[in-house]
Structure 1
Amino acid sequence: MMAAASSTIKAPIPVRQCARMIDSIHTEVMTQGYSDRTLVLVTQTGKIGSLTQVTIPLASFEQGFELSSGSENGLLPALPVPFTSLQLIPLLSSTPPELKALYDVYLNQIAMLVFTGFTPDASSHQRSCSPDRITKPVIIGLALARLPSDTDQDVTDLERARFSAIMNMVMECKLW
């Protein structure tokens, strides 16, 4: 009689995902790691949204990165400051014109999390980019819900909270 062999089958495409309620809006983040690129989907609408490829010139690979100071009230965590050389290339669909600046902030920050492999709790974290990560484009699907508010200040506070929560979700789904 043969003994049963125990084997673990590794998924051909690594996938991580999580879901949270952010200001009463169901939010999902999913990451997939491919040999030649990384896919990150962030949705509050149940759709993929606009797909954008983010790349960085190889000349930026040797430079380290700075950390933002975060906010005094702790609402915004310290995150890697995006390189000015990041290139955003729309692939599918388009960002709503009135939300382009906001989407660009999300796209740049998500890409920096991938390129740097940033983890806020890593005490020995080196502020440099891995050549393996930086040479692979990051494809980001982003579909954000419009935030309900009465004043511009409400929008700013809600947006900061949403941004922070989504960046934490992206780090939780880290494959890189």
Structure 2
Amino acid sequence: MLSVHSTSVELEGVPTEIVVQGFADCILVLVTQVGKVGNLIQASMPLTIPLDLDSTNTTLPAPPAAIQLTPLLGGAPSEHLHTLHSLYASQIATIIWVSEAKKMDIKRRNVVVGIALHRDADADERKTFLGVMDHLYQLVK
């Protein structure tokens, strides 16, 4: 089981908190720039679907098409943010699953992702996304 890991970073000028907490049946990952849990999405995938374990820290592992995303709490106020939150949840879950598989943890627990991003038209969403994923890698490796 993962213990609690967290970090505070500044991404695109916005303070960002990333927390990873392992439980017996799932892993909770919170990414917040506004101090709230935000939109909760559960990512799940059958154990029979293989993962790409050859990716490195410089390359994000590709989320398998079999990932199932289930909204648990809240919702994105626009179609664009809905798509962005789904992208975050899929990528975060894939990073967690690959990390656990590399540590020989054969269980594939569901990953619950809480996302609350600061809305700023001037912020580069791609840089923020890559920054979150890079820091998540550092937390779970």
TM-score class, shorter-chain normalisation, is 0.7 to 0.9
Q: Which of 20, 36, 48 is residue 59 of structure 1 equivalent to?
A: 48
Asked if structure 2 preserves the Cα contact closer than 8 Å seen for 1:53 and 1:91, the reply is yes
Q: Which of 68, 82, 92 is residue 100 of structure 1 equivalent to?
A: 82
Q: Which of 113, 116, 131 is residue 98 of structure 2 equivalent to?
A: 116
Aligned-partner SS, 2:137: helix
Asked if structure 1 preserves the Cα contact closer than 8 Å seen for 2:53 and 2:98, the reply is no
Asked if structure 2 preserves the Cα contact closer than 8 Å seen for 1:115 and 1:130, the reply is no
Asked if structure 1 preserves the Cα contact closer than 8 Å seen for 2:28 and 2:112, the reply is yes
RMSD: 2.7
What is the TM-score of this pair, normalised by structure 1? 0.70
The Cα shift of 1:46 comes to: 0.7
Q: How many residues align?
A: 139
What is the TM-score of this pair, normalised by structure 2? 0.86
* Residue in structure 2 matched with residue 40 of structure 1 by the alignment: 29
* Residue in structure 2 matched with residue 80 of structure 1 by the alignment: 61
Matched, 1:20 2:1: no
Structure with higher Rg: it is: 1
Asked if structure 2 preserves the Cα contact closer than 8 Å seen for 1:67 and 1:79, the reply is no
Any idea what the Cα deviations from partners look like across 1:60-88, whole Å, max 9, x if unmatched?
1xx24176799xxxxxx411000000000
Relative distance call for 1:34 and 1:159 in structure 2 (3 A) is: same
Relative distance call for 1:174 and 1:64 in structure 2 (3 A) is: closer
Q: Which of 129, 140, 144 is residue 117 of structure 2 equivalent to?
A: 144
1:102 counterpart letter in structure 2: L
What residue ranges of structure 1 are gaps of 5+ in the alignment?
1-12, 71-76, 119-124, 150-154
What residue ranges of structure 2 are gaps of 5+ in the alignment?
none
Asked if structure 1 preserves the Cα contact closer than 8 Å seen for 2:75 and 2:82, the reply is no
Identity of counterpart residues, as a percentage? 33
Distance 2:138 2:55 in 1: 19
* Residue in structure 2 matched with residue 90 of structure 1 by the alignment: 71
Asked if structure 1 preserves the Cα contact closer than 8 Å seen for 2:45 and 2:68, the reply is yes
